[in-house]
Amino acid sequence: MSASLGATATFARGIHPPEGKHFVAEAAIEVLPTPKSVRIPLLQHIGAPCEATVKPRKSVTAGDVVGDAKAFVSAPVHASISGTTARESNTTLPNGRHVPVVPINAADEQPLEGQALYDDVLGGEWPTQDLDVAAFTSEQIVQMAREAGIVGLGGAAFPTHVKLSHHPDHNVDTLLINGCECEPYLTSDDRVMIESPRSVVCGALLALHSTGARKVIIGIEENKPQAIRALRHAAEGTAVEVQVLQTKYPQGGEKQLISAILQREVPTGGLPFDVGVKVINVGTCSALARAVLRRKPLTHRVVTVTGAGIKVPKNLLVPIGVSYAELIDYCGGLTKDAARVVAGGPMMGFTLGSLDVPVTKGTSGITVLTHQEVRKQEQSNCVRCGRCVDTCPLNLVPTKLALAARYNNTEVAERYSVTACMECGSCAYICPASLPLVQLIRWAKILVHAERAKEKAKAEAKAAKALASTADERPSEGGSEKKEAKPEKEAKPEKEAKPEKEAKPEKEAKPEKEAKPEKEAKPEKEAKPEKEAKPEKEAKPEKEAKPEKEAKPEKSKASKSEK
Amino acid sequence: MADNEKHPESAPRSDEAPTPKPAPSAPEDAPPAIVVAPSPHLHDPHFTTRRMMFDVIVALVPVILVSVVVFGWAALAQLSICVLSCLVFEALFGRLMGKPLSIGDGSAAVTGLILGLSLPWTAPVYVGVIGSGVAIGLGKVVFGGLGFNLFNPAMVGRAFVMLSFAAAMGAGAYVAVDGLDPILTQATPLDLAKQSADGLMGFPDLWLLFVGTHNGSLGETSVLASLIGGLYLILRRSAAWEIPLGVVAATIVCAGLFGMAGLTPLTAWQHLAGGAVVFGAFFIATDPVTSPVAPWGRFCFGAGIGALVIILRVLSGYPEGLMFAVLLMNALVPLLNRWTIPRPVGGHAAQRA
- Each residue of B77-125: pLDDT tens digit? 999 999 999 999 999 998 988 888 888 889 999 999 999 999 998 889 9
φ, ψ for residue A305, nearest 5 deg: -110, 110
- Provide the pLDDT for residue A165: 82
* Ramachandran region, residue A289 (left: φ > 0; alpha: ψ -120 to 50; beta: rest): alpha
Last residue of a domain, one of A449, A472, A497: A449
Query: Which one, of B89, B42, B30, lies nearest residue A186 by Cα?
Result: B42
For residue B124, the distance in angstroms to the closest alpha carbon of chain A comes to 32
Q: Is the pLDDT of residue A443 over 90?
A: yes
φ, ψ for residue B99, nearest 5 deg: -110, 155
- Provide the pLDDT for residue A544: 40
User: Across the interface, do B349 and A419 touch by the CB < 8 Å criterion?
Assistant: yes
Mean pLDDT of A115-138: 85
Q: Is the pLDDT of residue B345 over 50?
A: yes
Q: Is the residue at A152 inside a domain?
A: yes
Query: Which of A271, A305, A336, A366 to mutate: most B Cβ within 10 Å?
Result: A336
Q: Is the pLDDT of residue B155 over 80?
A: yes
Same domain assignment for residues A352 and A416: no
Q: Given the DSSP bridges, would you call strands A314-319 and A300-306 parallel, antiparallel or unpaired?
A: antiparallel
Select the more confidently predicted residue: A383 or A511. Answer: A383
Q: Reduce the DSSP state of residue A242 to 3 states and report it.
A: strand
Residues of chain B neighbouring A429 (CB-CB closer than 8 A): 40, 42-44
Rg (CA), chain A: 25
**A161 residue type, one letter:** H
Give, for A350, the enclosing helix (H) or strand (E): strand A350-351
Give the number of other Cβ atoms within 10 Å of residue A140's Cβ: 13
pLDDT band at B12 (very low <50, low <70, confident <90, very high): very low
Query: Which one, of B59, B105, B111, lies nearest residue B82 by Cα?
Result: B111
Mean pLDDT of A126-137: 83
CB proximity A273 to B under 8 Å: no
| Cβ contact B251:B264 at 8 Å | no
Select the more confidently predicted residue: A497 or A427. Answer: A427
Query: Which one, of A19, A36, A40, A551, lies nearest residue A330 by Cα?
Result: A36
Residues of chain B neighbouring A333 (CB-CB closer than 8 A): 12, 14, 16-18
Last residue of a domain, one of A449, A472, A496: A449
pLDDT band at A473 (very low <50, low <70, confident <90, very high): low
Q: Is the pLDDT of residue B353 over 50?
A: no
Rg (CA), chain B: 24
| Cβ contact B292:B301 at 8 Å | yes
Return d(Cα A255, Cα A392) in angstroms, integer. Answer: 13
Q: Is the pLDDT of residue A541 over 90?
A: no
- Provide the pLDDT for residue B349: 60
pLDDT band at B192 (very low <50, low <70, confident <90, very high): confident
Contacts of B184 (CB under 8 A, 6+ apart): B71, B121, B175, B176, B215
Q: Is the pLDDT of residue A367 over 90?
A: yes
Mean pLDDT of B224-234: 94
User: Across the interface, do B9 and A339 touch by the CB < 8 Å criterion?
Assistant: no
Q: Given the DSSP bridges, would you call strands A314-319 and A29-31 parallel, antiparallel or unpaired?
A: parallel
Give the number of other Cβ atoms within 10 Å of residue A12's Cβ: 12
Same domain assignment for residues A348 and A424: no
Tens of pLDDT, residues B42-79: 888 888 888 999 999 999 999 999 999 988 888 999 99
Q: How far is CA B228 from CA A92, A244, B51, in A?
A: 57, 37, 18
CB proximity A263 to B under 8 Å: no
B244 preceded by cis ω (within 30°)? no
Q: Is the residue at A460 inside a domain?
A: no
Q: Is the pLDDT of residue A394 over 90?
A: yes
CATH of the domain at A338: 3.40.50.11540
Domain hosting A413: range is 387-449
Q: Given the DSSP bridges, would you call strands A77-78 and A277-281 parallel, antiparallel or unpaired?
A: unpaired
Q: Reduce the DSSP state of residue A381 to 3 states and report it.
A: coil
Return d(Cα B12, Cα A19) in angstroms, integer. Answer: 27
Residues of chain A neighbouring B39 (CB-CB closer than 8 A): 342, 346-351, 423, 425, 438
Give, for B137, the enclosing helix (H) or strand (E): helix B125-137
Same domain assignment for residues A110 and A216: yes
- Provide the pLDDT for residue B180: 65
Query: Which one, of B238, B242, B235, B252, lies nearest residue B298 by Cα?
Result: B242
Q: Is the residue at A290 inside a domain?
A: yes
Same domain assignment for residues A363 and A393: no
Please give the DSSP secondary-structure letter assigned to residue B15. S
For chain B, give the mean pLDDT: 84
- Provide the pLDDT for residue B35: 79
Q: Is the residue at A517 inside a domain?
A: no
Return d(Cα B227, Cα B278) in angstroms, integer. Answer: 7
- Provide the pLDDT for residue B323: 93
- CA pseudo-torsion sign A348, A286, A100, A331: negative
User: Across the interface, do A383 and B14 touch by the CB < 8 Å criterion?
Assistant: no
Last residue of a domain, one of A410, A429, A449: A449
For residue B22, the distance in angstroms to the closest alpha carbon of chain A comes to 10
- Provide the pLDDT for residue B154: 95
Same domain assignment for residues A361 and A436: no
Three state DSSP letters for A135-163: HCCHHHHHHHHHHCCCECCCCCCCEHHHH
Tens of pLDDT, residues A352-365: 888 889 999 999 99
Q: Is the residue at A254 inside a domain?
A: yes
Residues 66-85 (A) with a CB less than 8 A from some CB of B: none
Give, for A524, the enclosing helix (H) or strand (E): helix A521-527
CB proximity A351 to B under 8 Å: yes
Same domain assignment for residues A78 and A171: yes
Q: Is the residue at A339 inside a domain?
A: yes
Percent of chain B scored above 70 by pLDDT? 86
Contacts of B86 (CB under 8 A, 6+ apart): B108, B109, B111, B112, B115, B132, B135, B136
pTM above 0.95, yes or no: no
Contacts of A363 (CB under 8 A, 6+ apart): A301, A303, A343, A344
Q: Is the pLDDT of residue A463 over 80?
A: yes
| Cβ contact A67:A91 at 8 Å | no
**B12 residue type, one letter:** P
**A86 residue type, one letter:** A
User: Across the interface, do B37 and A389 touch by the CB < 8 Å criterion?
Assistant: no
Bridge partners (DSSP) of residue A65 are A78
- Provide the pLDDT for residue A549: 40
Same domain assignment for residues A233 and A294: yes
Report the Cα–Cα distance between both ends of chain A, in Å, rounded: 70
- Please calculate the CA angle B231-B236-B241 and round it to the nearest 5 degrees: 55
Same domain assignment for residues A217 and A264: yes
- Provide the pLDDT for residue B327: 96
| Cβ contact B345:A265 at 8 Å | yes
The number of distinct structural domains making up chain A is: 2
Q: Is the pLDDT of residue A127 over 90?
A: no
| Cβ contact B291:B285 at 8 Å | yes
Same domain assignment for residues A229 and A121: yes
Give, for A102, the enclosing helix (H) or strand (E): strand A98-106
**B330 residue type, one letter:** N
Q: Is the residue at A378 inside a domain?
A: no
Percent of chain B scored above 90 by pLDDT? 49
For chain A, give the mean pLDDT: 81
Tens of pLDDT, residues A174-194: 999 999 999 999 999 999 999
| Cβ contact A338:B34 at 8 Å | yes
Q: Is the pLDDT of residue A417 over 60?
A: yes
User: Across the interface, do B345 and A328 touch by the CB < 8 Å criterion?
Assistant: no
Same domain assignment for residues A425 and A317: no
| Range in A31-35, A489-493, B294-298 the model is least confident about | A489-493
Same domain assignment for residues A115 and A226: yes
Tens of pLDDT, residues A483-519: 444 444 444 444 443 344 343 343 333 333 343 334 4
Q: What crossing angle do the helices spanning A282-293 and A138-147 adopt, rounded to 10°?
A: 100
- Provide the pLDDT for residue B15: 38
Tens of pLDDT, residues B238-282: 999 999 999 999 999 999 999 898 888 888 888 898 889 999 999
- Provide the pLDDT for residue A480: 41
Return d(Cα A161, Cα A541) in angstroms, integer. Answer: 14
Tens of pLDDT, residues A49-94: 889 899 888 899 988 999 998 888 899 999 999 999 999 899 988 8
Q: How far is CA A519 from CA A51, A54, A106, A142, B144, in A?
A: 16, 11, 21, 21, 71
Please give the DSSP secondary-structure letter assigned to residue A422. -
Same domain assignment for residues A262 and A147: yes
Bridge partners (DSSP) of residue A99 are A91
pLDDT band at A561 (very low <50, low <70, confident <90, very high): very low
Q: Is the residue at A282 inside a domain?
A: yes
- Nearest residue, CB atoms, A389 vs list B148, B342, B347: B342
